[in-house]
Chains A and B, each alone.
Chain A
């Protein structure tokens, strides 16, 4: 078994936090898309690094490169053509930054305190897995935060992508020996969901004249 460098994994993981924050906080939807693209490339990098442990992950790394780093950003780029500015969110930059730091601290504490809850691994791998899990949970919660607090429908889709990235990172950390078929299924689904959501949001824009989710008020109770 080839050893993977913990430093490399830590650096890539921590960069994921920064890209998540940038994707959530950028007011220009195209800047947000670029931040998401950077995160997708980081995930691919992580998967390539992990593939020394499990060759199935190499297959997933290539799939992720196509789906997360090419197709999803491409869909988002097209969907934001002519509508680059995001609808003003509920919570602004300052409070978001505080929330992010708090989230990260809580997730680090949780994953490191309850490491035994997850997989029994060698000490070195467990350390990497714990860091990755803390990052994965933070990215996941940030995605959820974006879906709940951003008014722009396209931004909520970006939030959904972050949420999925968080889950996928945790998946690699918890189950590095997972099979190709399962990985392919998970990866394909995200991209189809994002495409369909953006397609429906296109319809919403043409009927409602906006992608502000607060204006979607036809259905109550």
Chain B
């Protein structure tokens, strides 16, 4: 915990939400009439959001907590890490979309309105989707956190059904229905927290809505309320995060959405839901540690289910989607371990998976772009014709599997060390076994697609490397996977700082014990408002 963190009123948290929202509105208003405007505005919007996120990250790393609208928007290091992750993956997704989506809409002969209308809708909803995810990461108001998370579902609903064929429509319907029902549970949880919190002495009124306030008084909550609220929150936000057994929407939506949207869904959206879960549930860790044990059990269950299901897939994007379920299991496992190292490992894996899985989806999209095929069994020998895509896919596959010297290795190692340190050897055992399965699944797919004999589809002379913007966006992520892997110290400070804002439990002596110092640290936070 940064004990000397200073709360500073700033326009930055509001601006980083406003920029993509305004861009979306401009795209909706003028996109149909000026063809170059859609792409230009989207690119400018995400670039600006990325710059703002980095500035917020820099300031929070140097001892500031930025707030807007009193403390309704609240950017500490944890929020800053998340919005930087969202902005970065969004930036790459938009660069990737520039050529990719024009090709998909024009060549794909999509029905339902004109090409111009389709692209306008795509970029408009995409920017709204990005802004709602950033909003969720900055919201300090517990009800608005729910609203922002649900808003991101709404903004992405039509993106999932974008291709408007039977599969996409079915995926879109399931996506909106299941996520709305699921997230409604978390509203119950949020209301329960507010209702109980606002009746505590010293909280009252509008203060009871603020997570930063509730966190300080979490130890005064009755155990029954903690159990009930945690259950509702885990079901609600867990559904959106793709935690098993609430994950059935995930493979459908990830597989049927356009590739840049799949990269965003898998790379960041499910992490934003996980962030909401962490922000709300971990406030009870110091006073009621069984919540953490429950999260750990659910995390291990999720990683096993995800990996087993990924083994059975032939559809490339579906396989990657199930692999995401498994990786979400690892992240939840880190938060379930609940120690400082566990939280650090969970956050680190969140960042690594965002980069690596977005890369894998983009590479899968490049394969689909060039060959028109998505079944692993129909592909083969693509490495010669698509060397860069092939390289990127292998980097992504090895990174997600946790093979050194790539980024995933460090976070998985930290995760297993944290598990062992806390005495949760059973979870570590499952984690290592599932990692081996992940390696087998991803490398087998990579081998079938890129090595061996050229399949009939690939033998077609028209198959060649994807366009420049697609290749550039994949290379950015591949370089990040390698860079973080070779020099993990670069990301250590922001992740460690972010982890210090999550409540932890101390499991030394292999017992669930309270870490009282954590809460006293909160009280030491100096509060100073600048006008």
Contacts and interface: CB of A to CB of B under 8 A. Distances in A.
Interface of A: 114, 116-120, 144, 147, 153, 156, 160, 163-164, 167, 170-171, 174-175, 177-179, 181-182, 185-186, 189, 192-193, 196-197, 199-201, 203-204, 207-208, 213, 216, 218-219, 221
B161 A163 contact: no
Interface stretch (B58-66, B166-174, B520-528): B166-174
A185 B192 CA distance: 18
Contacts of B251: 219, 221
Contacts of B154: 189, 192-193, 196
Contacts of B192: 118, 174
B173 A204 contact: yes
Interface in B94-132: 112
Nearest to B147: A185
Contacts of A182: 141, 143-144, 147, 209
6 closest Cβ pairs, A-B complex: A185-B147, A182-B143, A174-B195, A216-B170, A175-B195, A218-B167
B34 interface: no
Interface string B196-237: 101100000110010000000000001011001000000000
Task: Give chain B's interface residue range (CB within 8 Å of chain A).
Answer: 35 or more
A208 B166 contact: yes
B28 to A, nearest CB: 14
A207 B205 contact: no
Contact of B184 (A156, A163, A218, A219): A163
Nearest to A186: B147
Contacts, number: 124
A102 B172 CA distance: 34
Interface string B267-278: 000000000000
A221 B312 contact: yes
A119 B196 contact: yes
Nearest to A211: B173
Residue of A171, A175, A178 contacting most chain B CB atoms (<10 Å)? A175
B195 A119 contact: yes
Interface of B: 112, 141, 143-144, 146-147, 150-151, 153-154, 157-158, 161, 164-167, 169-174, 176-177, 180-181, 184, 187-188, 191-192, 194-196, 198-199, 205-206, 209, 222, 224-225, 228, 251-252, 255-256, 309, 312-313, 318
A201 B312 contact: no
Contacts of B147: 182, 185-186, 189
A80 B206 CA distance: 42
Contacts of A193: 150, 153-154, 157, 176, 180
A114 B224 CA distance: 10
B206 A218 contact: no
Contact of B180 (A153, A160, A178, A200): A160
A151 to B, nearest CB: 13
A200 B166 CA distance: 11
Contacts of B144: 181-182, 185
B199 A120 contact: yes
Nearest to B195: A174
